Structure 1
Amino acid sequence: MTVFLVLLSAYLLGSVVFGVIYSHMRGDDVRGRDMPGGSGMFRQYGLGPALTISVLDILKGVLAAYLALRFAPGWEWAAMFLVIIGHCYPVFFRFNGGGGIAPMLGALLIVAPKTLLLMVLLSLIVMPLYKATIQKRVGLNAIPFMSAVVLPISVAASFWLGGTLALVAGGLGMAVRSVQLLIEDGKLGKKTA
């Protein structure tokens, strides 16, 4: 029963999408124009709201992972998956939320901090290189490209650094949302002659 409650809590924590709440407080819904995470909040509302939303979204990943470690050891990977799925498909906001990056970072901070450090360092290298070289030709947002490069390397390294199962579970949760967004944007599923 404890495992079920911890996993349910992880999903419900994820479903509290602070970017949507903030935009609703302003009489708006950011999802009509942008994603409700840190970068979308920065583009729509500025630096202050972006930082606040990012920290809050990271903290819900931290809390979900901590609860799993404390009350359901061995289930951290599932809690990480569910906090991300909750963020991407929040029950409180008609299953339309963010991309899951911040809750994943928060959960990894607890479950696999060395792997998280590697991911951050790789991201700081890959993203600027991609933007400066091939983004205009490929036409794909930097986040999905960066994820496609950084996640496989991080998973391989996590066998030594720790957190492999959690990283795979978290990556899977984000991948589901990324594929959905790519299909909606018309980047996938187009028939070509």
Structure 2
Amino acid sequence: MNIWLKYGALVLTSYLWGSICWGLVLSFLVKHEDIRLKDNPGVSGSVRQYGWGYGLTVGLLDVMKGYVLSLVLHSMSIPSWVPIVSFTAVIVGHNWPVFFQFRGGGGVATTLGILLQGYPVAILWALPFAAIAGVIWKLVPRIKAKVHFSPFISAIGAVPAAIWIVLHKPWYPDYVIVVALAASVLIKGNQFHVRAQRQRLRNYANGMRDRFMDHYRDNNLPPTP
């Protein structure tokens, strides 16, 4: 088999593996509906719609998706650029899955799985910062209104994780992996935030229209005899 075909097959397989978006799969199989009609299909959306047990199950499966891929690729003798492209492909597949009209999750849990396999100490170092960021997001309405939860805690947690990697892994492909995955998470997370803002505006506009029509009907009723 041509070596370039082998590398291309690995990248394509990574994308298809990422396209198995468990939040969507379980919403179809367990809830018999499309969660995307209500919320994003990631962990946070699953928790909001179906509860913590369901949401944590989705999160664990998405983490394992990244973890298993990282474990397999690190066991293979391949050039350093192949894992970089493959890790990016699995996140792209999760965020824009070919099996689900390219409408998937935010990529946070899958990214966590990739980094958890390759850099567990970096993840442990970043968790307290991410937790503090979550509390700040919850308590500060201005931040909550402008930034989506997932990209906010991911961005804050990524800083100490990146510092740890730079100090302990002086190898440039590691930096590329972190930057590529962080960019994907931030892009998709902000898309969810913008979508939610648009939905709120539509709801507000529909509410104003309904109130105006009710007021119009009330003022134009024929007089009672």
Letter in 1 for 2:185: M
* TM-aligned CA deviation for residue 68 of structure 1: 2.0
Contact 1:112/1:161 (CA < 8 Å) preserved in 2? Answer: no
In structure 1, the partner of 2:19 is 15
1:61 matched to 2:72: no
Contact 1:10/1:79 (CA < 8 Å) preserved in 2? Answer: yes
Q: TM-score, normalised by structure 2?
A: 0.74
Contact 2:15/2:90 (CA < 8 Å) preserved in 1? Answer: yes
Secondary structure, aligned partner of 2:106:
coil
Secondary structure, aligned partner of 2:75:
helix
Secondary structure, aligned partner of 2:182:
helix
Counterparts of 1:44-123 in structure 2, within 5 Å, are 44-71=49-76, 72-74=78-80, 75-123=82-130
Residue by residue over 1:90-110, the C-alpha shift from the partner in whole angstroms, topping out at 9 and shown as x without a partner, is 000000000001110111112
Contact 2:91/2:111 (CA < 8 Å) preserved in 1? Answer: yes
What CA distance in whole angstroms lies between the structure 1 residues aligned with 2:37 and 2:100?
13
What CA distance in whole angstroms lies between the structure 1 residues aligned with 2:49 and 2:168?
37
Over 3 Å counting, the alpha-carbon distance change for 1:17 and 1:184 in structure 2 is same
What CA distance in whole angstroms lies between the structure 2 residues aligned with 1:29 and 1:108?
29
* TM-aligned CA deviation for residue 73 of structure 1: 4.7
Letter in 2 for 1:11: Y
What CA distance in whole angstroms lies between the structure 1 residues aligned with 2:18 and 2:190?
19
Over 3 Å counting, the alpha-carbon distance change for 1:111 and 1:78 in structure 2 is farther
Identity of aligned residues (%): 30
What CA distance in whole angstroms lies between the structure 1 residues aligned with 2:35 and 2:163?
36
Contact 1:12/1:86 (CA < 8 Å) preserved in 2? Answer: yes
**Unaligned 5+ residue runs, structure 2?**
199-225
What CA distance in whole angstroms lies between the structure 1 residues aligned with 2:195 and 2:56?
27
Contact 1:76/1:111 (CA < 8 Å) preserved in 2? Answer: no
Q: What's the RMSD between the two structures over aligned residues?
A: 2.0
* TM-aligned CA deviation for residue 38 of structure 1: 1.9
Contact 2:18/2:65 (CA < 8 Å) preserved in 1? Answer: yes
**Unaligned 5+ residue runs, structure 1?**
188-193
Match of 1:4 among 8, 12, 21: 8
Over 3 Å counting, the alpha-carbon distance change for 1:143 and 1:50 in structure 2 is same
* Larger-Rg structure: 2
Contact 1:15/1:86 (CA < 8 Å) preserved in 2? Answer: yes
- Higher RCO, Cα 8 Å, sep 6+: 1
Over 3 Å counting, the alpha-carbon distance change for 1:29 and 1:118 in structure 2 is same
* TM-aligned CA deviation for residue 13 of structure 1: 1.0
* TM-aligned CA deviation for residue 45 of structure 1: 1.5
Aligned residue pairs, count = 185
What CA distance in whole angstroms lies between the structure 1 residues aligned with 2:161 and 2:46?
27
Letter in 2 for 1:34: D
What CA distance in whole angstroms lies between the structure 1 residues aligned with 2:125 and 2:152?
17
Q: TM-score, normalised by structure 1?
A: 0.85
Contact 1:87/1:97 (CA < 8 Å) preserved in 2? Answer: yes
